[in-house]
Amino acid sequence: MLIKIPAASRSHESDVTPESLYLSRRAFMAVSGALAAGLALPVTAAEISRYEGVDPAKAPQWFTEKLPSAQWQAITAGDEATTPYRDATHYNNFYEFGTDKGDPASNAGALQTEPWQVVVDGEVGKPGTYSLEDLMKPHGLEERIYRLRCVEGWSMVIPWLGFPLAELLKQVEPSAQARYVRFETRVAPEQMPGVRSGFTLVNWPYVEGLRLDEAAHPLAFLAVGMYGRVLPNQNGAPLRLVLPWKYGFKSIKSIVRISLTRERPKTTWEGIAPDEYGFYANVNPQVDHPRWSQAKERRLPGSLFRPNVIPTRLFNGYDEVASLYGGMDLKANY
């Protein structure tokens, strides 16, 4: 994102998958019920894998077991249309797998997501190396349909499946000294062509961070799935952050380490271009990127004749986070 404003979306009207591909709730319940009962998949699921190349059976067991009791549409985006699955999984930023929007879909399949471990350390009462399965044990799944606004000027609406970050923080017991949370993405050069290529702008691992009160905000979310299924690798499997009021680069993918710290962590994009990408990165139409305006966004999918440009909203429309930034100069703290 440092280098250029991306060319127009590669999405074309012809790529837009029929609405049926994001399963209706009722169809979905039928699928998950059948999975739970070990029955043959109904037609809807077969259609999904045919159109999208996704095999729903690839989900780990813990995910399949939690799915039937997921709380659907716990948060919605009102009447805003959900981005088709095809676009959300083929127009991605995940530099570990390459810098073109299609690279993650082409290359992230190589990432081995099972088994997966997450180190929790720093200012916590319960540090340790957790298997993802153990980490997930206390948490039910809920669906949250969030807007995602990339700093590059495009946006999507994605139905995530996961649980609040606040629940995980409670689980690991931050100490009284903890003031920030630092997140790290996996580095596996043999599975990540973007890391291998020596793309030198990024000093791997990809690192992100939050103030502890931001991390504890009820909207901050850890996702393990989307569109009623397990997360595809290109979207940050098996565990990624989703912070709907911040620019997309804060929503770090494929997390292997979560550290509670006293000092503000140095984040990847701040390290590369501190005048362009700040620590806070709250969506704000009045604070332009030094090289482009942030007043508007292209809601994907668009087309040459229907670019779908809409106004950008402060905090991406999530006004409930405003109290986190009371008295702060949002221009100085971009």
Q: Which residues bind ligand MTE (CB under 6 A)?
A: 1, 92-96, 148, 150, 185, 206, 235-236, 248-249, 251-254
Output the six-digit token pair for 289. 């990127």
Beta strands in the chain (DSSP E): 71-75, 117-122, 128-131, 142-149, 154-164, 180-185, 207-211, 221-226, 229-230, 240-242, 255-261, 296-299, 309-311
Q: Which residues contact 120 (CB under 8 A, 6 or more apart)?
A: 126, 127, 128, 129, 130, 172, 257, 258, 259
Closest to ligand MTE by CB, 105 vs 120, is: 105
Q: Is 143 helix (H, G, I), strand (E, B) or coil?
A: strand
Residue 95's binding partner out of Mo ion, ligand MTE, none, with CB under 5 to 8 Å set by partner kind: ligand MTE
Stretch that binds Mo ion, among 32-40, 123-131, 146-154, 269-277 (CB under 5 A): 146-154
Least Å distance, CB 80 to ligand MTE, is 16
For residue 101, CA distances in Å to 8, 188, 229, 331 come to 11, 20, 22, 29
Residues 6+ apart with CB under 8 A from 24: none
Shortest reach from residue 148's CB to Mo ion, in Å = 8
* Backbone region of residue 38 per phi and psi (left: phi > 0; alpha: psi in -120 to 50; beta: other values): left
Instruction: Considering the complex, state which of residue 174 and residue 232 has its C-beta at the smaller distance from ligand MTE.
Output: 232
- How near is the Cβ of 222 to Mo ion at its closest, in Å? 18
In the list ligand MTE, Mo ion, none, the entry touching 83 (Cβ below 5 to 8 angstroms by class) is none
- Give 207-250 as a DSSP string: EEEEEHHHHTSTT-EEEEEETTEEPPGGGTTT-EEE-TTB-GGG
Nearest-approach distance from CB 163 to Mo ion, in angstroms? 23
Q: CB of 61: closest distance to ligand MTE in angstroms?
A: 24
The site map against Mo ion for 74-93 (x = CB under 5 A) is -------------------x
Q: Is 249 in the site for Mo ion (CB under 5 A)?
A: yes
Q: Could you give the 3-state DSSP secondary structure of residue 292?
A: strand
List binders of Mo ion among 33-72 (CB under 5 A): none
Name which of 51 and 199 has its Cβ closer to ligand MTE.
199
Nearer to ligand MTE, 74 or 188 (CB): 188
Q: Which does 148 bind (CB under 5 to 8 A by kind): Mo ion, ligand MTE, none?
A: ligand MTE
Q: Which is nearer to ligand MTE, 28 or 160 (CB)?
A: 160
Beta strands in 59-123 (DSSP E): 71-75, 117-122
Partner whose binding site includes residue 182, from Mo ion, ligand MTE, none (CB under 5 to 8 Å by kind): none
Torsion of CA 154, 156, 162, 167, to 10 degrees: 50
Regarding 334 and contact with Mo ion (CB under 5 A), the answer is no
334 vs 332: CA distance, rounded Å: 6
Comparison of 35 and 233: residue with beta carbon closer to ligand MTE: 233
The answer to whether 258 touches 180, Cβ cutoff 8 Å, is no
How far is residue 15's CA from residue 247's CA, in Å, rounded to a whole number?
26
Out of 150, 157, 226, 300, name the contact with Mo ion by CB under 5 A.
150
Binds 253: which of ligand MTE, Mo ion, none (CB < 5-8 Å by kind):
ligand MTE
**Shortest approach of ligand MTE to residue 316 CB, angstroms?**
12
70 phi-psi bin (left φ>0, alpha ψ -120 to 50, beta other): beta
Closer to Mo ion by CB, 22 or 249: give it. 249
Closest CB to ligand MTE among residues 30, 234: 234
**Contacting positions for Mo ion (CB under 5 A):** 93, 150, 248-249
